[in-house]
Chains A and B, each alone.
Chain A
Amino acid sequence: MVTVLVPGALRTEAGGESRLDVAAGGTLRAVLDEIDQRWPRLGRRIRDERGELRRFVNVYVDGEDCRMLSGQDTPVAGGGEVQVLPSVAGGSVAQEVFDGDRVLAENFAPWVRELGLSVQETGSDWATLRLPWSDRLAREGGAMSGQALMAAADTATVIAVSAARGGFVPMTTVQLSTTFQRPVLGSDVLVTARLTKLGRTMAFADVTMTAKGTLVAHATTVYALL
């Protein structure tokens, strides 16, 4: 058995897993072939259709860059560890360091987790969460209830502050002001919180909520950092 460590940016292609157990061994190529078989969307982001490693993806076998060893012919022993990392040459690495879904899972009340929020993207001062449509969130008339949108805006701000600080920060909401501009009927809502100021003890954010690309609600939030 070989363990494959998946970077944050590719976890959605591996069912959300950060570690995968792979039966194949022998060479790195055999390990990557099994990934192609079992997680093809992950596999094609690591290697192109010729089977070559993508230029800005680095693969480490037991901590050593495979390009410094024998490339895909590098031996991988049972119990070995293969780590996939995007190289610094490409884009932002913030999302590889910060795991927003873990912050969500570990720090919120059960009823908030039941909203089914997931972290889509985070940046140096922002976070986008998806609030999936559910009939349970609908109020009379069939539209998504404002309470659900406000909870999502609140949560998105916590994730944005945590992303900016590189990990979960305890905080308490001081103010949350929301305008509901259009009804949400049957579609997911993308909730993006952008920090307009992040101080030592206070954080301020602007939150947009969109469904099918259209603004449905807008909020401004203020937090005391504990």
Chain B
Amino acid sequence: MTVLLLIGTAKGLFLARRDRVGDAWQLSVPQFPMTGVYAVGVDTRRATPRLLAAVDSSHFGPSVATSDDLGACWREPDHAPLAFPRDTDTALTRVWALQPGPAAEPDVVWAGTQPSALFRSTNGGLTYELVRSLWEHPHRTAWGEGFGGQAIHTILPHPTDPQRVLVAMSTGGVYRTTDGGASWHPANSGIHVSFLPDPFPEFGQCVHKVARDGADPERLYLQNHHGVYRSDDDGRTWTSIADGLPSDFGFAMVAHPRRGGTAWSFPITADALRFPVENRCRVFRTTDAGKTWTAQAYGLPTAPFYPSVLRDAMCADGGDPVGVYFGSRTGEVFASPDEGGSWALVAAHLPDVLCVRAVRL
């Protein structure tokens, strides 16, 4: 079964494709060369999946492009597809997340931006409008800024209840709506912060990534700026699942798309030491919702490995078994066709990998 892997890098988007396990990956030339591709999305609700790419030119600013022919041609509307309204006196810095909505809303696509804001598209991701209820939240002026900038990087629509959406930002933490976006409430109960006087504030956490369990939509996994957590009540409360990991720091968190309790992470030593734990290239998987974690490194480099894996630079596809993919800041991309059991190189010597997303065709 053909896999199409979108690899967003600091200098353009690469598409890798292979028709079956064992074949060589075919890597495209860079699309949108010399632009940072901070987010990619695949909308599988269409007959031919629609590809979405957030491209950011250091000269000419940010934009969002779409492709309905698997990346052969990309289009962009004449007018900015995503822009802040005039009255906000704010300019878009970049788009950090592109997330198709649930099946019941086939034309809804969400976008998360820097500065921290949520946008919603009702035409399949071609153009977007600011979600004012979150922009006008009284907490907004108190949201902070992480090293990479202040952004909403995670958007998790509830798969069966369109009234519920959860977002996460750095820094600010998790917010959720249960009324279709009319109101938003912080959802950080139990998540620790190390950089504020109050270790358990209502909001202000530097959440790095959240993933929703594939079988139980109430269950979530969260990689914090130190701390790994699980929620069993759609984000209302969080408990630590870090004990079985070699470090509680990291950026990526990916859930199995169907099997409950299964998720992958790429632990980094610490905030102040951003190398993989023991300088070893290892993915960790849990199959019991975080009680235990097991290293998965068969086929990965065995020499000392220093690059980190960014928050969106790991993903899973929808296959059976599930394919898992990750890319490093030194431009290597690895794929596992068997849920992390074995790994092989997809591509090397690319620019810094910022994000990956995979789809089975």
Q: Could you tell me which A residues sit within 8 Å of B by CB distance? A: 9-10, 40-41, 44-46, 48-50, 52, 54, 56-57, 86-87, 89-92, 121, 123, 128, 187-188, 190, 192, 208, 210-215
Is B29's beta carbon under 8 Å from chain A? yes
Q: Which residues of B contact A56 (CB under 8 A)?
A: 58-59
Q: Which residues of B contact A128 (CB under 8 A)?
A: 29
Of all chain B residues, which has the CB nearest A47?
A: B61
In the bound complex, do residue A45 and residue B57 qualify as a contact, i.e. CB atoms below 8 Å apart? Answer: yes
> Beyond A44-B83, A54-B61, A210-B26: 19 further Cβ-contacts under 8 Å?
A46-B60, A49-B80, A49-B91, A50-B91, A54-B59, A87-B59, A91-B57, A91-B58, A128-B29, A187-B72, A208-B29, A210-B28, A213-B15, A213-B26, A213-B70, A213-B71, A213-B72, A214-B17, A214-B26
In the bound complex, do residue B58 and residue A44 qualify as a contact, i.e. CB atoms below 8 Å apart? Answer: no
Closest Cβ–Cβ distance, residue A52 to chain B (whole Å) = 7
Q: Are A212 and B69 CB-contacts (below 8 A) given A52-B91, A91-B58?
A: yes
Q: Which residues of A contact B69 (CB under 8 A)?
A: 187, 212
Q: Which residues of B contact A48 (CB under 8 A)?
A: 61, 91-92
Q: How many A-B residue pairs have CB under 8 A?
A: 81
In the bound complex, do residue A213 and residue B17 qualify as a contact, i.e. CB atoms below 8 Å apart? Answer: yes
Of all chain A residues, which has the CB nearest B90?
A: A50
Q: Which residues of A contact B70 (CB under 8 A)?
A: 212-213
Q: Which residues of B contact A90 (CB under 8 A)?
A: 57-59
Is B78's beta carbon under 8 Å from chain A? yes
Of B15, B59, B71, most buried by chain A (CB within 10 Å of CB) is: B59
Cα(A45)–Cα(B61), bound, Å: 6
Is B79's beta carbon under 8 Å from chain A? yes
Give chain B's interface secondary structure class.
loop
Of A10, A48, A54, A57, most buried by chain B (CB within 10 Å of CB) is: A48
Is B281's beta carbon under 8 Å from chain A? no
Of all chain A residues, which has the CB nearest B69?
A: A212
Of A44, A92, A128, A208, most buried by chain B (CB within 10 Å of CB) is: A44
Cα(A167)–Cα(B61), bound, Å: 29
Interface string of B318-340 (1 = CB under 8 A from A): 00000000000000000000000
Q: Which residues of A contact B61 (CB under 8 A)?
A: 44-45, 48, 54
Q: For residues 58 through 105 of chain B, which have their beta carbon under 8 Å from a beta carbon of chain A?
A: 58-61, 63, 69-73, 76, 78-80, 83-84, 86, 89-92
Cα(A211)–Cα(B71), bound, Å: 9
16 residue pairs from A and B, CB less than 8 Å apart: A10-B60, A40-B78, A44-B63, A45-B61, A50-B90, A52-B91, A54-B59, A56-B58, A86-B60, A90-B59, A121-B33, A187-B69, A212-B71, A213-B4, A213-B26, A215-B26
Of all chain B residues, which has the CB nearest A50?
A: B91
In the bound complex, do residue A190 and residue B29 qualify as a contact, i.e. CB atoms below 8 Å apart? Answer: yes
Of all chain A residues, which has the CB nearest B26?
A: A215
Cα(A176)–Cα(B30), bound, Å: 24
Closest Cβ–Cβ distance, residue A54 to chain B (whole Å) = 5
Cα(A214)–Cα(B4), bound, Å: 10
Q: Which residues of A contact B57 (CB under 8 A)?
A: 45, 90-91
Cα(A208)–Cα(B14), bound, Å: 14
Is B131's beta carbon under 8 Å from chain A? no
Residue among A44, A188, A210 making CB contact with B80, cutoff 8 Å: A44
Cα(A90)–Cα(B73), bound, Å: 25
Q: Which residues of B contact A211 (CB under 8 A)?
A: 72
Q: Which residues of B contact A121 (CB under 8 A)?
A: 33
7 closest residue pairs by CB, A with B: A45-B60, A48-B91, A49-B83, A90-B58, A90-B59, A213-B15, A91-B34
